[in-house]
Structure 1
Amino acid sequence: VPRNEIVGIDINDDWKAIVRQLTHSPHGRIVLYRDSLDDTISMLRVRETAWGPILHERPDGSGEALRWTAQLPGAIGLDLADMARAADLDDALRIADHAGIPAQNLLLADRHGRIAWRLIGARPDRAAACPPAGGAAAVPAQCAPWPIRSDASPALLDPANHRLWTANGRVLDGPALAVAGNGGYDLGARGRQIRDGLLARERFDEKDLLAIQLDDRALFLQRWWVLLRQVLEHSDDPGLKRLEAASRHWEGRASADAVSYRLARGFRGMVLERVSAGLLAPARQRLGDQYLEPRLAQFEGVLWPLVSQRPAHLLPPPYASWDALLADAARGLDADLAAQGPPLAERSWGERNTAAICHPVSRALPAVARRWLCMPADGLPGDRDMPRVQGPAFGASQRMVVSPGHEADGIIQMPGGQSGHPLSPFWGAGHQDWVNGTPTPFLPGTTVHTLRLLPTRE
């Protein structure tokens, strides 16, 4: 190994010094040692390409290199702060052209009634002939490595229907989708309910728009409840009688006290697990330890047609029929819930969807002290595939409704309260309003305390 490809890292060194050495080294061979080179621990080999370091080697000998936009010059900056001085929509769009933040959906509205959507943040600037992915050897020379840019992003200004929504779903198609790439989109169920709510009427006030954010109707899972009921009603399995009795009433919402919603959701999860395991078994068998379970947010587009049409050639082994697979999924749900103790009639969605919103410092504390740094463990309504998106430690970071120029009528709700300091009297203030969906004012009220930052007196 040429000596100019060897870098020594003392693992007892200051962490910042280690990062600095890694950043400026050739990254060919890295010797890990303790205090002196005589106490070598091991050698780390990092293969570099023009695109970046090789992260994963494929069975065919090719590799996957990391070219992360955030690590490239020009990707990060503070220009987004200029939004505070944007005068109108066009001004905000010009600022967005130079905002050095991770790629996001940007929705804008100004006091003149104009609205816009666009992608914001740096992205790969691939020419038309450059594929979005693939081994370096398969990419034309003029494409390797491609630069980045943050301007000329896909955008939609002043749509004819005067409505914009995103919900983390796929909002692009055709050439614009090729520019943006696959961002790991959510299933479209939540976006569809938001869209339908926005198109349901011509005029809205602040409370109308808050109601859309608080919509916990379980439209997506209703068909799964119907399927579960069909499986249970046609089963002679005595072990499924408990499920049949507990799932008779469909609440139609992911309310905290809903039982059938929890059962329908759990049943879908069990079916998905069995079907995806069967379809992906050949890949798992061929790749062995190198197999990585993909994130299949859009798998419903495969799963529901399969359980509806039930093609024999796609039936996962070892099941003799699709009916057998669905019955086994129901038994799996029953066993999973029975292992946890209480009767099925008491297994509400709120029991499963219990808030676990804690200060980051709580992770370093013993369990007995941790609860003092957490919000109350309330059973929460809502779920991922509906506008009221919230889980134990996941969900919308805030709910806000405000019309430019009418801020006094605005509404804001925050799950973490107003202060991040556990000893502050405002620790958790407003959290219960977020739990209950109670409208709280966007603008501050009467000043109670004033915090002044003063220079040090010598």
Structure 2
Amino acid sequence: MVACLVLAAAGTGLWAVQRAFPDTGGEIALPALEGEATVYRDAHGIPQIYADTAEDLFRAQGFVDAQDRFWQMHFNRLTTAGRLAEVFGEEQAQTDVYLRTMGWRRVAEREYELLRPDTRAYLDSYAEGVNTYLDRRDGGERGLEFTVLAALAPDHEVEEWTAVDSLAWLKAMAWDLRGNMQHETERAALLASGIDRERIEELYPAYPEQEHRPIVDGGGIGGGRFRADEGAAAGGDAALPPQEAAGVLAGVDAGLEEIPPMLGPDSAGLGSNSWVVSGEHTASGLPLLANDPHLGAQTPSVWHQTGLHCTEVTERCPFDVTGFAFAGLPGVVIGHNADIAWGFTNLGPDVADLYLERIQDGAAVVDGEPEPLTTREETVKVAGGRDVVFTVRSTRHGPLLSDAESALDLRAIGAGPPVDTDGEPVDRAAEPPGDGYGVSLSWTALEPGTTADSLFRMNAAEDFASFRDAARSFEVPAQNLVYADTEGNIGYQAPGTIPVRGTGDGRWPAPGWDSAYDWQGFIDFEELPVVRNPERGYIVTANQAAIGSDYEHMLTGDWAYGYRSQRIETLLAGAVEEGGLTAADMTDIQMDDENSGARAVVPHLLRVEVEGTAARAQELLADWDYQQGADSAAAAFYNATWSHLLDVAFDELGPERALDVGSRSWLVVDRLLDDPDSPWWRGDAADGRDAVLREAMDRAADELSRRLGEDPAEWRWGELHTLTATHPSLGASGIAPVEWLFNGTPVEASGGDSTVNATGWEHTEGYAVTTVPSMRMTIDMADLDAARWIDLTGASGHAFHPDNGNQTPLWARGETIPMPFTRPAVEERAEDVLTLVPSGG
């Protein structure tokens, strides 16, 4: 049905598509405005907005964001509110039940009241701008997706935008960047499958601090409570989940896997790069800053490039900032103002713990005593089906996620009111499960916080002191903040609300019936890692350990393993020796394709005897430089071999628990290559290290011969490793015409998982790109008008708009475009100018 409707809409010609395109020139009267606002757009459609007051600035931003991306904004708010099923039907009920159980929007509603008055004013002003757009347009005029929406859910009404809609998006961002919770359930599931703990720990090795430098020198990642290399000693055997709880943990794990990633299609390769270089090493004499967050490959991109400029910067209107924003959230998230620049990578502290709870007689057992549960009722509306009415119960630790499965299991399926066996209407509210084990979630984002305050204060910061002061309010998701300013300073700050645990280490689901495992508070901001103007003259963050092994607090035991950060360190160290670094040099580093993990594996592959096509392919590796360009035959063969190696060596994990292809598996296999007798080398398809390596190369050669031809020299990594930016709501519908309308055009990609140019892929699904450098930005503090940037897709979210996908080919080639900042530079590059005036103005 959807395919027919969309084809019918497309068949009406250009009008059906173009009626949603934004007006980018001339004059538009907006009743919300107090004075004029001007919107300049460059050749790529990127808006730069000017207004006399901060409130008008954000009203204009809300209007412009809605012009370009309202479907994205609306879909995101339906998701965060747990309302997808009321549009997309039964298949989205599970997502809604889990999100309602966690209560993202309920937290956002409480959060609004905690914020500073000026922050609330900015959020409200932004909402006024969005609603002015909604008042001007209806239905398909807001986007082609709304034509589909009218057919899927004709009774669905698009409500006014509110400040809470914007705040709820911060919960979505925090969810995707929440840390190691997935590893908690993975470890528990592996233990339940019969694999002993010692072998499981081999799959989650300690951070290799001696080989891969932490962000900040000194301190430690484990401290007295827990060291990541202590393995089974951490927390003791009493912390292991009981065997009889395996079923409930598996159910929660499966349910959480169904929650769609908010920042684009997920993979284990999610991460980011950023670094700053002091002016003593640069050609301009002032710092350079580079950033490229790695997120899911979606269209439109997560980011919306934007400039926000008060016509005169004053205390009442302090904003003069350009950078990357989220459509739906006022302000700029990553970028620079006239004085400072900043970038983000995910710090990744363990801020979410699962607790196994013992439920008896409707209460949680804590220290041998019953503790009442708190409850609330929720209703998920289902398009074309019956509502899901259920009770959310919470323990002292948080909501019982395990109840969500019960709500879904007891759901009445089909249209019409629920009836009993006699056909009489009944109240079919889902009853919570009875006595037994439950699983609750403690997560810092489930308490209201002040991150929105932080973002606005960061936009207006003038120096490192005011930047750090802004960072104090940045609670979730905790980020690595890199900093540079026009005075020549560089710095780093780790902010965030990070728990201090009692017993346990957060790496396994904790026993909720023992209060010793409860959180004891949070790390004080002054005790979080920070550095300013380090002696070596540069700072690198790429999700590696934030600080060394003597730090008194535990941040996490599940860092990224530092291959990207160490490669950047190596490249920067070499460039520093040569001196005179430029922003172009930073871009070159961002595009580095070296597979550092292959350095440990290739010598072993070359040592093993193979025959036929595999032998000819093996020769490609003999002089391979480990770079994974799109044209590389060696990269194609190596990655195919690597994928099959993981399948053959770790066959007992199965596809549900398969190792990712990136840094964790690089380190795991590196260690195992020195242990040829490890039981991991004994499997169904091959027995012994060399036999596994041989089998992997044979399988890779057979696969690539079928897919790319018989001559290994003609194989190309880019033919396997393609990127198709996917529309999050309609792009994976399985209906080819719909996907054609809304998805991006496929492009070949270089790089790979855990390379600096981090184009991640899921080996259980093939070689296609799933996570990407979602944007790239380089800034020279000596000339802010010379800054460069690129987005994965482009400014527009409208199907077939010229600015939808217009940056993707440039992104794939590693190119960037100008990022003008001062008004003369913005005006010089402007192709369209839109004047927004108050009604009657």
Calculate the TM-score normalised by the size of structure 1: 0.78
Partner of 2:491: 116
1:306 corresponds, among 649, 657, 672, to: 672
Q: CA deviation at 1:371?
A: 3.4
Partner of 1:83: 458
Partner of 1:394: 771
2:432 corresponds, among 22, 45, 50, to: 45
1:117 counterpart SS class: strand
Rate the CA distance shift 1:153–1:262 in 2: closer, same or farther, 3 A.
farther
Q: CA deviation at 1:403?
A: 2.6
Partner of 2:701: 334
1:419 corresponds, among 784, 788, 796, to: 796
1:402 counterpart SS class: strand
Partner of 1:265: 639
Q: CA deviation at 1:66?
A: 1.3
Rate the CA distance shift 1:452–1:228 in 2: closer, same or farther, 3 A.
farther
Rate the CA distance shift 1:300–1:431 in 2: closer, same or farther, 3 A.
closer
Counterpart contact for 1:356–1:374, Cα < 8 Å: yes
Counterpart contact for 1:97–1:152, Cα < 8 Å: no
Counterpart contact for 1:80–1:100, Cα < 8 Å: no
In 1, the alpha carbon distance for the partners of 2:696 and 2:459 equals: 52
1:383 corresponds, among 729, 752, 762, to: 752
Q: 5 Å matches for 1:206-221?
A: 206-221=583-598
Q: CA deviation at 1:86?
A: 0.3
2:480 counterpart SS class: strand
2:664 counterpart SS class: coil
1:99 corresponds, among 474, 483, 490, to: 474
Q: CA deviation at 1:190?
A: 1.3
Counterpart contact for 1:69–1:148, Cα < 8 Å: no
In 1, the alpha carbon distance for the partners of 2:790 and 2:479 equals: 22
Q: CA deviation at 1:217?
A: 2.9
1:360 corresponds, among 728, 745, 749, to: 728
In 2, the alpha carbon distance for the partners of 1:322 and 1:152 equals: 49
Rate the CA distance shift 1:66–1:8 in 2: closer, same or farther, 3 A.
closer
RMSD between superposed Cα atoms in Å: 4.0
2:692 corresponds, among 290, 309, 325, to: 325
Q: 5 Å matches for 1:171-190?
A: 171-174=546-549, 176=551, 178-182=553-557, 184-190=558-564
In 2, the alpha carbon distance for the partners of 1:375 and 1:205 equals: 32
Counterpart contact for 2:376–2:393, Cα < 8 Å: no
Q: CA deviation at 1:203?
A: 3.5
Counterpart contact for 2:544–2:562, Cα < 8 Å: yes
Q: CA deviation at 1:351?
A: 0.9
Q: CA deviation at 1:209?
A: 1.4
- Amino acid in the other structure paired with 2:495: I
Q: CA deviation at 1:45?
A: 2.7
In 2, the alpha carbon distance for the partners of 1:149 and 1:98 equals: 13
In 2, the alpha carbon distance for the partners of 1:353 and 1:2 equals: 52
Rate the CA distance shift 1:239–1:404 in 2: closer, same or farther, 3 A.
closer
Rate the CA distance shift 1:148–1:71 in 2: closer, same or farther, 3 A.
farther
1:450 counterpart SS class: strand
In 1, the alpha carbon distance for the partners of 2:535 and 2:774 equals: 30
1:298 counterpart SS class: helix
Rate the CA distance shift 1:299–1:327 in 2: closer, same or farther, 3 A.
same
Q: CA deviation at 1:261?
A: 1.1
- Amino acid in the other structure paired with 1:272: L
Rate the CA distance shift 1:204–1:254 in 2: closer, same or farther, 3 A.
same
Rate the CA distance shift 1:385–1:221 in 2: closer, same or farther, 3 A.
same
- Amino acid in the other structure paired with 1:174: S
Q: CA deviation at 1:32?
A: 4.9
User: 1:94-116: CA deviations, max 9, x gaps?
Assistant: 11011243122111122222222
1:363 counterpart SS class: coil
2:786 corresponds, among 401, 409, 423, to: 409
Counterpart contact for 2:391–2:432, Cα < 8 Å: no
Q: State yes or no: 1:136 paired with 2:519.
A: no
1:99 counterpart SS class: coil
Q: CA deviation at 1:138?
A: 4.2
Q: CA deviation at 1:334?
A: 2.7
Counterpart contact for 1:254–1:381, Cα < 8 Å: yes
In 2, the alpha carbon distance for the partners of 1:321 and 1:24 equals: 50
User: What 5-or-longer segments of structure 2 have no aligned partner?
Assistant: 1-360, 364-371, 420-424, 761-768, 821-825
Rate the CA distance shift 1:8–1:369 in 2: closer, same or farther, 3 A.
closer
Q: CA deviation at 1:198?
A: 1.6
- Amino acid in the other structure paired with 2:672: L
User: 1:104-148: CA deviations, max 9, x gaps?
Assistant: 211112222222222233222446x675463134442xx635445
In 2, the alpha carbon distance for the partners of 1:32 and 1:114 equals: 59
State the structure with bigger RCO (CA 8 A, min sep 6), 1 or 2: 2
Q: CA deviation at 1:270?
A: 2.3
2:747 counterpart SS class: coil
Q: 5 Å matches for 1:14-93?
A: 22=391, 32=411, 35=417, 38-39=425-426, 43-45=430-432, 64-74=439-449, 77-93=452-468
Q: CA deviation at 1:62?
A: 6.7
Counterpart contact for 2:758–2:773, Cα < 8 Å: yes
User: What 5-or-longer segments of structure 1 have no aligned partner?
Assistant: 49-60, 285-290
- Amino acid in the other structure paired with 2:512: A
Rate the CA distance shift 1:99–1:309 in 2: closer, same or farther, 3 A.
closer
Q: CA deviation at 1:240?
A: 3.2
Rate the CA distance shift 1:393–1:74 in 2: closer, same or farther, 3 A.
same
User: 1:142-192: CA deviations, max 9, x gaps?
Assistant: x6354456733522312221211111222323354843223x432322111
Q: State yes or no: 1:228 paired with 2:601.
A: no
Counterpart contact for 2:651–2:683, Cα < 8 Å: no
Q: CA deviation at 1:447?
A: 1.4
**Which deviates further from its counterpart, 150-159 or 164-173?**
150-159
2:602 counterpart SS class: helix
Q: CA deviation at 1:80?
A: 1.6
User: 1:343-389: CA deviations, max 9, x gaps?
Assistant: 34443110111121244354266423533544432211112232222
Rate the CA distance shift 1:32–1:353 in 2: closer, same or farther, 3 A.
closer
User: 1:68-101: CA deviations, max 9, x gaps?
Assistant: 1111233654432211110101111111011243
Rate the CA distance shift 1:336–1:186 in 2: closer, same or farther, 3 A.
farther
User: 1:307-343: CA deviations, max 9, x gaps?
Assistant: 2442366642454432222212222223433454633
In 1, the alpha carbon distance for the partners of 2:488 and 2:708 equals: 55
Q: 5 Å matches for 1:278-289?
A: none
Rate the CA distance shift 1:46–1:436 in 2: closer, same or farther, 3 A.
same
In 1, the alpha carbon distance for the partners of 2:432 and 2:556 equals: 31
Counterpart contact for 1:125–1:148, Cα < 8 Å: yes
Counterpart contact for 2:388–2:430, Cα < 8 Å: no
Rate the CA distance shift 1:114–1:421 in 2: closer, same or farther, 3 A.
same
Rate the CA distance shift 1:95–1:229 in 2: closer, same or farther, 3 A.
same
Calculate the TM-score normalised by the size of structure 2: 0.45
Counterpart contact for 1:258–1:348, Cα < 8 Å: yes
In 2, the alpha carbon distance for the partners of 1:152 and 1:248 equals: 51
Please identify which structure carries the higher strand content: 2
1:174 counterpart SS class: coil
Q: CA deviation at 1:257?
A: 0.8
Partner of 1:53: none
Counterpart contact for 1:154–1:176, Cα < 8 Å: no
Q: State yes or no: 1:448 paired with 2:817.
A: no
Partner of 1:196: 570
Counterpart contact for 1:190–1:384, Cα < 8 Å: no
